[in-house]
Amino acid sequence: MSLAVRAPAGDVIAQVGDHARLWTLAPGELSNLENARMPILAEGKPWADLDIAFPPATPQTLAGWLRDPFVEGISLISLLGFVVFQLYLRRVLRYLDPNSAVPERVRTAFDTLSEAVLVLDPDGNVMLVNRAFRSLREDVKDDIVGTPVANMAWLLSSLPPEAELPWQAAVRENRALLGRRLHVDLPDGRRRELVMNCSPISDGTGRVRGCLASFDDVTELHERTERLRVALDELSASQREIERKNEELTIQATRDPLTGCLNRRALMQEAEQRVRAAHAGGESLSCIMCDIDHFKSINDQFGHASGDVVIQAAVKSLSRGMRLGDLLGRYGGEEFCLLLPNTSIRQALEVAERLRAEVESHVGAALRQPARPRVTMSFGAAEWSAVVPGPVELIDFADQALYRSKQNGRNRVTAWTPTAVATEPA
């Protein structure tokens, strides 16, 4: 590349070529493949040095390396090897095609299953699907085998948001995961209800080689269940309506329509039960009969509508003085009967007196008339005992005491006794 004659002091005496750029050897440094130094002697003594610069032994640029014979040989051999490998691999892959690897009888057996079946390898690639799985959606293609299951966005979107997919968990834990419910939206807007089960596939050594996922279409069952639920709701509503109607009928059959208290028939049925209970338990039971005084004159003076108002007001006054468990019934037109369990005749007289004062103070005010009448009631009380055969006789004895109150001037309380009828002054 260049030559130079250099004096011992280092000065260049003569040179050929761009020696200053090509010469890189330092003074005293040994020669190398690119720079060689040879001494020149005169009469056996050093006179000067001959510096010779050779081209580099290895390429210094990419283009130089590419033109290097050794590199060109290696590249040619690599290219020929790659072409041969591709031809060989292409021939081998024809035998490793998943569709070809699975025998036809296996695919036929899977296609006979009514459940949709999806077989995956440990990496989540589809190895086998049956006809039922392809029929889940119209956009499931036949060439799905060999593709990642992640490409089926409709399937992933139907799963609940979890950190790990069910088939991945089944492979990792080597156990079956059952009963995962899915909602698959179809392109036409309909929705399918599926139940997914994932089971790991193991070889003879227990190593997990994949996962089998089955999908049971329960859409029709869900729809039938929903229709059954609606029918049951309608039946329950009908049953509640029937119960309500029965309650209304019971009220109509046992209650007085004007006052809402028990009618005479229901009162007598309840009275028989109370008498039997008192007899069985050895408890006291008292009956109070009461009647609105001069009620006909109220009807004649103010009209029957006002008479109804007086009857309703009287029932309200009587109800305010009753305990839980006491019975109040309309015995006749303006006559009422009260049954008081666990009540002696003395207590019954106190109750009757309190009710008499309540009626006298408030019932007349119920009539919105300029001249309000003074409304009073007469009371008769009797206590059940061994000499009283039954409820009819008990009510009759209380009614006799009421009749005596009427005879003695009304607006008073009278008690019945076996020997005589005592009167409490008003």
pLDDT values of the chain reduced to their tens digit, one per residue, 426 residues? 899 998 887 888 899 988 888 888 888 888 888 889 999 998 888 888 898 989 887 777 777 777 778 888 888 899 899 888 888 877 665 555 555 555 677 777 777 888 889 899 888 898 888 888 888 877 777 678 888 888 888 888 888 777 688 888 888 888 998 888 888 887 777 788 888 899 999 887 888 889 999 988 888 888 888 889 999 999 999 999 998 888 888 888 889 999 999 999 999 999 999 988 888 888 899 999 999 999 999 888 888 999 999 999 999 999 987 888 899 999 989 999 999 999 999 999 999 999 999 999 989 888 877 777 889 999 999 998 877 778 999 999 999 999 999 999 999 999 997 664 444 444
Residues in Cβ contact with 167 at an 8 Å cutoff, skipping those fewer than 6 apart: 120, 124, 149, 198, 211, 213
pTM value > 0.75: no
Considering the domain architecture, whether residues 271 and 409 belong to the same structural domain is answered as yes
- Is 287:361 a contact under the CB 8 Å cutoff? no
Tokens of 387: 């000499």
Q: What is the CATH number of the domain that holds 209?
A: 3.30.450.20
Catalytic (active site) residue 334: yes
Among candidates 171, 225, 235, 151, which has minimal Cα distance to 193?
A: 225
Considering the domain architecture, whether residues 102 and 85 belong to the same structural domain is answered as no
Among candidates 314, 321, 84, which has minimal Cα distance to 76?
A: 84
Tokens of 347: 């207590």
Side chain identity, residue 150: A
Q: What is the per-residue burial (b if ≥16 Cβ within 10 Å, else e) of 174-188?
A: eeebeebebebeeee
Considering the domain architecture, whether residues 384 and 418 belong to the same structural domain is answered as yes
Dihedral, 65, 67, 71, 72 alpha carbons, nearest 10: 160
Considering the domain architecture, whether residues 404 and 295 belong to the same structural domain is answered as yes
Q: Which of 334, 353, 358, 424 is catalytic?
A: 334
334 phi, psi to nearest 5 deg? -120, 20
- Is 348:286 a contact under the CB 8 Å cutoff? yes
Tally of domains in the chain: 4
Kindly state whether residue 233 falls inside one of the protein's structural domains: no
Among candidates 277, 410, 280, 406, which has minimal Cα distance to 340?
A: 277
Round to whole Å and give the CA distance between 314 and 307: 11
Q: Which domain range does residue 82 map to?
A: 62-93
Considering the domain architecture, whether residues 183 and 332 belong to the same structural domain is answered as no
